[in-house]
A and B are shown apart, each in its own frame.
Chain A
């Protein structure tokens, strides 16, 4: 009993700085933000603070911009499967005992490690439609192949691979092509492909039981067949984890690229929910409305997390 009390006292002492920070900068703000989302809080105008119920949320449902930016956010997540399967492919290639193979691992990890404003400024220059090296290479390729085609306008274009409309949620053939959103997707895949997900796959691959692979090989299975029937099912929990984490990240993504590379344009096509919240809160100072959008974003993330909790372990057990 005495020991318990002394442990309790010690726990309070050890936890105090951490817990105070947690209350002040995490738990408190979460509650404050939920509260603010039901008010008209605005840092610029000195309106009398008013509780306005679900007004912010009903404004959001009617806000055309919100739906367009939601579509942008989802569209920009189209790169996730490419990045994921790319990481898997790389991990399979790197998972063998060849001399010097760790040099490749280090090289391929560099972009995700160094990612940030400097890398975004670099890609902004690479995508320059007139004298960036990407279009210069394309023009060179076109002239060698004798193709007469315009090079994409990249960050300056509202075009996209599925033909999303600019004005409203919908499709139009006029917008079909390569534009700013595709440029950001491509950059995202370049950054992510050799990053943490590849390391996770690499770690998971070393846990695939050797006997299973050998048994399959003895039965005369080709290496592709071995991969599909043995390795891939064994990797299912890792794939599921990476997929859910990527979706959670993707829903919250797009702020830095939009702020540094495009300021959300052209015509709002690279504005994601995260950048929308930034611009509402810190450019227009509409704290109340911005908080409501942030909580809707949180709701999406929460659903993805629930799916992870509900099915994550089951996927791991069944496979």
Chain B
């Protein structure tokens, strides 16, 4: 009885601390949402919760900047990069995990080694390369250099290593070629890894800032992060509209997170533990 009571108090303390953490986590986000519905004169000072809800702030964002265009660019680029990364990574991972060939492990170690190189080291030559190829300010330049990742290859290889080899052998005896083994045996079983990689890649590129910032010159190509930054520097005083834009840009990743939470958490644990 006593023990139970003690546990109850302890759990109460735990929940209390968690609530404090949750409130400090949520407070800035709530302020963002409330502010996005306020008229400009109520942003500075005044009540935290809006007196009247100005939904028109959201449509005003679309009138001030080509926000729909930013959205489309971000989603278009992130979707292409995700598709290409998953394809090249899965194929590469297949070669690194299911096929036996000379130099395989040495090359894989080289891939791993490049993962510790800071992004800025390769960013500068890649930029110069885009200048030489006349790919500055183009979708191709925004998509293609990001479509190959050592990380994705690594993650999927680790995943594929856990799939029993006997399955490939059975399929090979049944007369399946490597391409069929890849498509019909390995890929379906590697699906959880692929989903995690797809979500990581999509989100990473949806929020990607550095590469689009240096590559994009014209407004019609701006992605959400780049467009939002210019929105902030040009219309910095319209805090309510900025917050409306922030809320809108955060909605897709939050939705994706809520849908894919289970896969993501597995993927994070997998990447770190096996790494």
Q: Which residues of A contact B (CB under 8 A)?
A: 4, 7-8, 10-11, 13-15, 17-22, 24-30, 32-33, 36, 43, 90, 93-94, 96, 98, 101, 104, 106-111, 113-119, 121-126, 130-131, 133, 136, 190, 193-194, 196, 199-200, 203, 241, 248, 251-252, 255-256, 259-260, 274, 277-278, 281-282, 287, 290-291, 294-295, 297-298, 301-302, 305
Q: How far is the CA of A297 from the CA of B17 in the complex (A)?
A: 39
* CB<8 Å pairs between A and B, sample of 28: A7-B101, A14-B178, A17-B91, A18-B89, A21-B88, A28-B125, A29-B126, A30-B122, A109-B257, A113-B203, A116-B225, A117-B229, A117-B249, A118-B224, A118-B245, A119-B246, A122-B246, A125-B35, A126-B31, A133-B48, A199-B268, A259-B213, A277-B120, A281-B123, A281-B124, A282-B214, A297-B118, A301-B118
**Residues of B close to A241: CB separation below 8 A:** 272
Q: Which residues of B contact A (CB under 8 A)?
A: 11, 14-15, 17-18, 21-22, 24-26, 28-29, 31-32, 35, 43-45, 48, 87-89, 91-92, 94-96, 99-102, 104, 110-111, 114, 116-129, 131, 145, 147-148, 150, 153, 178, 182, 203, 207, 209-210, 213-214, 224-226, 228-229, 232, 239, 242-243, 245-246, 249-250, 253-254, 257-258, 261, 265, 268-269, 272-273
Contact B127 A199 (CB under 8 A): no
- A121-B246, A255-B210 are known contacts. Are A33 and B25 too (CB-CB below 8 A)? no
Contact A15 B92 (CB under 8 A): yes
B203 to chain A, nearest CB (A): 8
**Further contacts, 8 of them, CB under 8 A, given A20-B148, A281-B120, A281-B124:** A11-B104, A15-B96, A21-B88, A21-B148, A22-B148, A36-B125, A110-B257, A116-B207
**Residues of B close to A27: CB separation below 8 A:** 110, 114
Q: How far is the CA of A121 from the CA of B260 in the complex (A)?
A: 26
Contact B119 A252 (CB under 8 A): yes
- A14-B91, A33-B122 are known contacts. Are A121 and B18 too (CB-CB below 8 A)? no
Contact B92 A18 (CB under 8 A): yes
Contact B214 A194 (CB under 8 A): no
Question: Which residue of A has the minimal Cβ distance to B242?
Answer: A121
Contact A203 B273 (CB under 8 A): yes
Contact B28 A123 (CB under 8 A): yes
Contact A30 B117 (CB under 8 A): yes
B258 to chain A, nearest CB (A): 8
- A4-B100, A121-B228 are known contacts. Are A93 and B268 too (CB-CB below 8 A)? no
**Residues of B close to A18: CB separation below 8 A:** 88-89, 91-92, 95, 148, 153
Chain B CB count within 10 A is highest, among A15, A199, A260, A291, for A15
**Residues of A close to B209: CB separation below 8 A:** 116-117, 256, 259-260
A248 to chain B, nearest CB (A): 7
Contact B91 A15 (CB under 8 A): yes
**Residues of A close to B229: CB separation below 8 A:** 117, 121, 259-260
> Of the candidates B99, B131, B148, B207, which one forms a contact with A10 in the assembled complex, judged by CB atoms under 8 Å apart?
B99
> Of the candidates A14, A113, A114, A200, which one forms a contact with B94 in the assembled complex, judged by CB atoms under 8 Å apart?
A14
Contact B122 A301 (CB under 8 A): no
Main SS of chain B's interface residues? helix
**Residues of A close to B269: CB separation below 8 A:** 199-200, 203
**Residues of B close to A110: CB separation below 8 A:** 25, 29, 254, 257
Contact A33 B121 (CB under 8 A): yes
Q: How far is the CA of A18 from the CA of B268 in the complex (A)?
A: 23
A145 to chain B, nearest CB (A): 20
- A21-B148, A110-B25, A126-B28 are known contacts. Are A29 and B95 too (CB-CB below 8 A)? no
Contact B35 A25 (CB under 8 A): no
B75 to chain A, nearest CB (A): 15
B38 to chain A, nearest CB (A): 12
B137 to chain A, nearest CB (A): 14
**Residues of B close to A305: CB separation below 8 A:** 116
Q: How far is the CA of A72 from the CA of B129 in the complex (A)?
A: 31
Question: Which residue of A has the minimal Cβ distance to B111?
Answer: A22
Question: Which residue of B has the minimal Cβ distance to A124?
Answer: B232
Contact B254 A252 (CB under 8 A): no
Contact A104 B228 (CB under 8 A): no
B199 to chain A, nearest CB (A): 10
> Of the candidates B17, B242, B265, which one forms a contact with A125 in the assembled complex, judged by CB atoms under 8 Å apart?
B242
- A15-B95, A26-B150, A260-B229 are known contacts. Are A190 and B24 too (CB-CB below 8 A)? yes
**Residues of B close to A4: CB separation below 8 A:** 100-101
Contact B121 A30 (CB under 8 A): yes
> Of the candidates A22, A29, A117, which one forms a contact with B225 in the assembled complex, judged by CB atoms under 8 Å apart?
A117
**Residues of B close to A10: CB separation below 8 A:** 95, 99, 178
Q: How far is the CA of A311 from the CA of B9 in the complex (A)?
A: 41
Contact B121 A118 (CB under 8 A): no
**Residues of B close to A193: CB separation below 8 A:** 21
B126 to chain A, nearest CB (A): 5
> Of the candidates B21, B28, B91, B125, which one forms a contact with A29 in the assembled complex, judged by CB atoms under 8 Å apart?
B125
> Of the candidates B21, B92, B182, B273, which one forms a contact with A19 in the assembled complex, judged by CB atoms under 8 Å apart?
B92
A13 to chain B, nearest CB (A): 8
